[in-house]
Homo-oligomer: A and B are copies of this chain.
């Protein structure tokens, strides 16, 4: 089974993506146009990404020093070609309006299209950041900022970054120390936006420097000092700035002046090596502008609202990470399935014979392919249930994004709130379980999987990043239990429970699903009770001490729901299970209910009892 049929099933049979045509924005679209986008993506991914996934790992980004002391990033040729093919495909602006050259493609289909690139080589492209950057400007930028910066990102001329973290401020953005001061008199009247000079260091900036594009548009979080010269503590003081690597005029032409943004170094990572990851120094005076140190930046939106602007894009960015983790998980699944079907090793167990205690095998028989061993099947089925389940969840969330943007007011609001609750799961769950899937893919390969002659060890290394970036696992868990399940009086959680119960009510009518429906109902009750118990004292320190186990249980419950709903769609499309793919989906669903869902008991126990073993553990006792 390859990726495309699974994507097609989820899009058309499960999510009914064709119905989006009924929306005015998507009226010109049809399954044919969607398929054409998927075909193109699949082809470019196959030709320009997949063959070079190991190359970008081996030839990781390095720097050369130019005669003038500038550090230049060296990337493999394949990265240039992949980037060019992607930009030329129009996918960067696929979701945008026709009048700026977009295709008005639903986000659901865009996300599905991007899945092929992620599966082929997660680290070659960092196109999601460019899209996210430009999307943010389309919402919060001025008309000229959109025209000059966003459009030149969508058309592929320039690329974009998100500069949030600093060496001392990773998870804790309130500690951002980059300063932005007005750039002289008349700073407010620059047509590109109020002009500031920025000084500070930004860490972990993906695609922060390279020569893949003519220019790089940095979106930078920084603080404007108060009249006393001090920075406002906390996130409220954070503003957002456009800081181009090279200065441009109002027509989007390079002025020939380099901005004061200097590459300080590259991070040498465990994986995801195709994407340059940088430490950038803003305004250190390496490239003074008008004789002055300080990177020129243009304010986006209101001062002090920088994080608000940034978080506007956060849901989609987090779904993007969830999708990245998912596709790595599925890539490992396909690789290990292929290996298991072709590797002969061992024989079926027999006996014990004649009362002998030992299990015997008949060594005179030829070896069987390892896909015939139950334990290998178990490892394949686990990968399938993690990967396809995660893909379903992420496409469901993408569908909610479309609902939020094009549904009627009530539906849009409901989608917004469901997204708030589901996004931490869409990001964290694949990060954790598709990493486990990659470990199982290695295990199926045996010693060969531990070598660089097979792709699975790279998937595992690449995937390890996803629990860290765009908000760590711990941050997602605090967001879920500390904010999302509480917000708007708990209405998000109620909405989700309503959706889950609707699936349960349908499934309980179906003999093959009734037991699973009951198990899911019980799990939902348990999660609800644990949520209440966690907050019973009203003390965040009590509730959040076990936020991660809570998120793990919440995530497994959500995935069980997704699988049960996918099973309903499977039976609706193929009640007789005549297709092997249908049998496969039902098996993966059963696996999830038998092997995975029962795990929530152990996680919820510590949540329900507000277990303080960890929180109260004294530092000196470690």
Contacts and interface: CB of A to CB of B under 8 A. Distances in A.
Interface of A: 1, 165, 168-172, 174-175, 203-204, 233-235, 267-271, 337, 341, 344-352, 357-359, 361, 363-364, 367, 371-378, 380-381, 384, 435, 439, 442-443, 446-447, 449-453, 457, 460-461, 464-465, 467-469, 472-474, 477-478, 482-483, 486-489, 538, 540-541, 544-549, 580-581, 583-584, 587, 590-591, 594-596, 598-599, 601-602, 605-606, 609, 611, 613-615, 617-622
Nearest to A585: B621
A175 B478 CA distance: 53
A233 B591 CA distance: 36
25 contacts: A169-B345, A172-B367, A174-B361, A174-B363, A233-B363, A269-B450, A270-B450, A359-B478, A374-B615, A375-B474, A376-B474, A378-B546, A381-B614, A442-B464, A443-B473, A447-B468, A450-B464, A584-B621, A584-B622, A587-B617, A587-B621, A594-B606, A594-B613, A598-B601, A599-B599
Given A375-B548, A583-B618, A598-B605, 8 more contacts: A233-B363, A234-B363, A349-B478, A378-B545, A384-B622, A443-B467, A587-B613, A590-B613
A77 B169 CA distance: 40
Given A464-B460, A468-B447, A622-B380, A614 B599 contact: no
Contacts of A337: 622
A542 B465 CA distance: 38
A544 B359 contact: yes
A374 B446 contact: no
Nearest to A467: B443
From A378, A446, A460, residue with most partner B Cβ within 10 Å: A378
A337 to B, nearest CB: 5
Lowest 7 A-B CB distances belong to which pairs? Answer: A234-B363, A584-B621, A598-B602, A374-B615, A374-B545, A378-B614, A349-B540
A435 B611 CA distance: 25
Copies of this protein in the complex? 2
A379 to B, nearest CB: 8
B474 A447 contact: no
B170 A446 contact: yes
A352 B540 contact: yes
Contact of A447 (B165, B358, B583): B165
Nearest to A355: B538
A353 to B, nearest CB: 10
Contacts of A483: 357-359
A344 B544 contact: no
A204 B451 CA distance: 10
A404 to B, nearest CB: 21
B486 A352 contact: yes
Given A614-B378, A622-B584, A269 B359 contact: no
B443 A615 contact: no
Contacts of A371: 619, 622
Contacts of A469: 447
B549 A595 contact: yes
Contacts of A486: 352, 357-358
Given A487-B357, A547-B375, A618-B580, A465 B446 contact: no
A169 B347 CA distance: 12
A345 B602 contact: no
B540 A381 contact: no
Contact of A341 (B270, B352, B373, B619): B619
Given A446-B468, A487-B357, A583-B621, A614 B591 contact: yes
Given A538-B352, A619-B372, A621-B583, A172 B345 contact: yes
Contact of A1 (B450, B460, B538, B622): B622
